[in-house]
Structure 1
Amino acid sequence: MVQSAMVVAAQGGGQPPINLAQLLLVLVVAWTAGRLASRVGYPSILGELLAGILLGPAVIGLLRPAAGLEAIGELGIILMMLYIGMEIDPRDLRRASVPGLLAAAGGFLVPFGLGYVTVLLFGGTVLEGLFVGISVGVTSLATKSRILVDLRLLDTRIAYVLMAAALLSDTATLVIFAAIIGFVEVGAFDIGGTVLVAAEVVGFFAVTAVLGLLVVPWITRRLRAAAMSDRALDVAIVLSVGLGFAELAELAGLHAILGAFVAGMYLREGVLSHRATHAVSQYVRDISIGFLAPVFFVTVGFEITLDVFDTDLALLVSIIAVATLGKVVGTALFYLPTGHGLREGLTVGAAMNGRGAVEIIVAGIGLELGLISTEVFTILVFMAIATTASVPVLLKLGVEWLRRHGELARSEERRRGVVIVGAGPVARALAHSLMPSRPVTLIDTNPTVTGIARREGLRAITADALHEEELRRSGMDDAGTLLALTTNFEVNVLAAQRAREDFLVPNVRVALGATMSEALGAIVDEVGAEPMLDAPVDVGQWDQLLRGNRARIDTLHVDDDTDAEALLERLRAGRSVFPLTVVRDHDRIPFVLVDELLPGDRVVVVHRVDQDERQQVLE
């Protein structure tokens, strides 16, 4: 597939192999449309598809197929699947919850069956039915972080079910797609051909397992031992393995995207160091999702024919209907054995109704191989757009429905851990105040302050909070709260972004300064993080006061005579004291998570000793 695309791209007589002007125009359109879609809470892919349809041959005709675009786009989706594979943790597949497994099964099997039958009823072929079934069965949660943050669902049972279901669904989709491609290569569903296909598939996975678990790690260890490992070599290794596995998949009669996906899963662990893996993963993400893959999704729009609205409108409406109803109802029915109720099952189904990259890629390959018609391909693209657009609306209605009936359940695996980025005096004081009731970990790049923290009996690690694996080592998987308390506000914001996007931490609070760039402010808004206090926080000043014994830890008691609302407002202002925790009954809660103060509460604060700040606050 890759080779043929390259050959086609290189043909064209005296024309250059790549039309650079057209490529530049496609990239500008893709970036602009993707940004607009992201700003309103949808995946950038949706904007890129719509831009390709509106500006392509089907409508305006500003953009047209050009030499080299096909090859660039196909390379983009191969690298994108490599990145997706690197982002999937096999441990998450192993520990996927039973509700997630049931939701994935119902959300895939029911719409798959309905889509397949619908195509046959309208006179389509078996292969068209299979491709439509796969496409309507896919679950893409490309908008998950933004939607879950906006609806405050990150610490709910729904969020964990959705993550597990999407992971299982995408993996199963690629396996089934591989099987279909294998059978197509044989040309008939006879016993001999079936055995041959099965042998090729098994052989592919066996060879990649040996390479991924033994050969590639051995080679990289030898290179590191010879002091030959650097960023450029790490990138070369990852890209070589990804493209090599893609070619192996082609040789086995499968598609290159499956090989790249499998390569990514092997490259995640045991090949490079954690830091190198993360750095290269981000590089692959930037080059694929940020540059090459958008070319594919824009050019997908070039293949659209609007004639389906005249010739196949009934089939288009039927596919969108069975995709939505099959996903929502199928998920809800399979979800019933969990005992979590029909309402929660319907809400999970609504959240799983979005589609994204995988089914568009699958449909595009089906069109390229001549397995589906342009009309069916067009229907699948419009189905993906319509169902993805419905997710925010349907999910919001479902969540409000659950809240009205008191059925919006928090996760059974309640994340009580707290990770504090920074290990200075204020961060250590906060950790000491929280320690009796919940696990706390400090993370800082400065070995001096982490050493002090450990001598004080705190759990502290010397690591970079901007790296995923080091955050995981700090216990971020089990953390319900991240408090970014370094003197570097940029580090605070970027650590918050990583905690939210990579670990879906429900509560993220950030110490922000009086002056902050618009870019950092946009990140805070995008990930749904909140400032530590209402006013800017000078962490460095409070650290100096504690270090010089010019500030001390004290406790404010809230009784029946206290104006609790006014006290809470003054503490949040952060002008005279730095509030740490609220002691309520036998629990200790980070002050930043408290919405109200109750009689009997005790507020642990840091206040200056050179003036009676404590009395000022109480008054």
Structure 2
Amino acid sequence: MSTHMSTTEIFLLAMLLIFVVPFAVWRLFKTDYFAPLVIVQIIMGIILGPGVVGAAFPEYHKFLFNPDVVKTLNGVAQWGVMLFVMLAGVELDLKKVWQYRRESATTAGLSLCMPLIFGCGAALLLMNYQGWIGAKAANWQFMLGVGMACAVTALPVLVLLLEKLDILRQPMGQRIMRYASLDDVAIWGVLAVIMLDFERMGRQVGFLVAFAVLTPLFRRMMTRLQQNDRWYIAIFWLLACAFGADWAGLHFMVGAFLAGVVMDVEWFGQEHLDALFKNVLLVLMPVFFLSTGLRTKWDLGGYSVFFVAGLLLAASIGGKLAGAHIAGKVLKWKDGEASIIGWLLQSKGLIEIIFANILLDKQIITSETFTALLLMAVGSTMLTIPVVHPKLNRAQNRGLVGQASS
């Protein structure tokens, strides 16, 4: 391959690969039922990363995904996911969040705590064997880190799955978004505790206070603007919130979601929001899914890693289902609701991989543990649609979906 190609030309080749390969696999192998296009994009990102294709063809990989190209891809990916998560926040009805605050807090708390407990139990078991706990980790950091990795819900992937199941705007989908968004904020806060970053925890409190103070001013201004101007101000608000959240250690995606949550659909029009959602999904999100996979570095670590991945997957799914069923008993949900909600909330996607990458960088986990967590995230996401789809059909036939929980 010619080494005289410009960075722009190599970038365009990488983009071509990013868009063509997952689409071809998805179409040719007709994977839509068990692996929608988004899941194929996640898996192909991991395969195209340094752990698989990079190991098999190191020179070609180094040429195509050189540091300049990867930086450009990461910039496109971050902007795309910010827009996408903001739109997911706009779809969430704050009035319903407040109306069902007891239900939301109860379910979000249980769906976070139960898999956390199950995951900590799995981590405690792993600590009896060499090769799983990182060189710089205290026992409690390893336990809490692995436990939280089992408790993560992938917000961007969840939005896509709800859209795929056609329940994103139904009461069931809105409920699940409420639970996942509350957990998402908590997860990044706990990460600061794991890192022993007390300065960052202070920043997080400061960001949330500033956000609470500025939101009423932002909303008052938006109601006085014309619709065309609102789009520009919304972008300014998105960037400011994403920057503030990332500076505070809550991750820019949390800021982007919060930026969207305090916006009203009526400010922009549902038709225009739908068009933007579809365009972001088509044009930008594939770059996010693929570029995140390209950053994953892992070694297979022998057959034991598959056993550990299965253990962590069982902890994650079992914990989410246990939390959802306990919430269902407490809140008197209808039959079948808890199972659907639990299975959707256990979907991991790339957020868990990002979380695990941070733990690996800080040497809280080893590359073998990271590999197990990565395999768990892929398995968790791939199981979601095949398990939920028939459950959802049965629930719709009984008239459960489309009703709000009190």
Scaled by the length of structure 1, the TM-score of the pair is 0.51
Q: Give matches, 1:17-56, under 5 Å.
A: 19-32=11-24, 39-40=32-33, 42-56=35-49
Residue number in structure 2 paired with 1:86: 90
Measure the CA separation in 1 of the matches of 2:38 and 2:152: 15
Q: Give matches, 1:99-498, under 5 Å.
A: 102-123=106-127, 124=133, 125=137, 126-139=140-153, 140=158, 142-144=160-162, 146-147=164-165, 160=171, 163-164=174-175, 166-183=176-193, 187=197, 193=198, 197-215=200-218, 217-218=220-221, 221=224, 224=226, 230=228, 233-268=229-264, 273-275=267-269, 279=272, 282-283=275-276, 285-286=277-278, 288-302=280-294, 303-310=296-303, 312-339=305-332, 345-346=338-339, 348-356=341-349, 358-364=351-357, 366=359, 372-395=365-388, 409-411=398-400
**Aligned-pair distance for 1:48?**
0.6
Q: 1:369 to 1:44 in 2, by over 3 A?
A: farther
Greater Cα radius of gyration, structure 1 or 2: 1
**Aligned-pair distance for 1:297?**
1.6
**Aligned-pair distance for 1:204?**
0.9
Contact map agreement 1:107 1:137 (CA 8 A) in 2: yes
Contact map agreement 2:203 2:249 (CA 8 A) in 1: yes
Measure the CA separation in 1 of the matches of 2:234 and 2:333: 43
* Of 134-143 and 241-250, the range deviating more from structure 2: 134-143
Contact map agreement 1:37 1:43 (CA 8 A) in 2: no
RMSD over aligned CA atoms reads 4.1
1:135-188 Cα shifts (integer Å, max 9, x gaps): 432443643454478xxxx9xxxx855642x2233222222233134446754x
Residue number in structure 2 paired with 1:16: 7
Structure number with higher helix proportion: 2
Measure the CA separation in 2 of the matches of 1:412 and 1:390: 21
Q: Structure 1 vs Structure 2: percent identity of aligned residues?
A: 22
Contact map agreement 2:145 2:359 (CA 8 A) in 1: yes
In structure 2, what residue type is equivalent to 1:391? T
In structure 2, what residue type is equivalent to 1:24? L
> The residue matched to 1:19 in structure 2 has which SS?
helix
> The residue matched to 2:7 in structure 1 has which SS?
coil
**Aligned-pair distance for 1:46?**
0.9
Residue number in structure 1 paired with 2:130: none
In structure 2, what residue type is equivalent to 1:16? T
> The residue matched to 1:143 in structure 2 has which SS?
helix
**Aligned-pair distance for 1:339?**
4.7
> The residue matched to 1:134 in structure 2 has which SS?
helix
Measure the CA separation in 2 of the matches of 1:215 and 1:349: 35
**Aligned-pair distance for 1:214?**
0.5
Higher relative contact order (CA 8 A, sep 6+): 2
Q: 1:391 to 1:292 in 2, by over 3 A?
A: closer
* Of 286-295 and 199-208, the range deviating more from structure 2: 286-295
In structure 1, what residue type is equivalent to 2:399? R
Contact map agreement 2:145 2:194 (CA 8 A) in 1: no
Q: 1:117 to 1:399 in 2, by over 3 A?
A: same
**Aligned-pair distance for 1:205?**
1.8
In structure 2, what residue type is equivalent to 1:410? G
Q: 1:328 to 1:114 in 2, by over 3 A?
A: same
Structure number with higher strand proportion: 1
Contact map agreement 1:138 1:359 (CA 8 A) in 2: yes
Aligned length: 372
Q: 1:324 to 1:235 in 2, by over 3 A?
A: same
Q: Any unmatched runs of 5+ in structure 1? A: 1-13, 188-192, 416-619
Q: Any unmatched runs of 5+ in structure 2? A: 128-132
Measure the CA separation in 2 of the matches of 1:99 and 1:253: 28
1:83-142 Cα shifts (integer Å, max 9, x gaps): 222222212322338666655443332112111231243133444543433343244364
Contact map agreement 1:351 1:391 (CA 8 A) in 2: yes
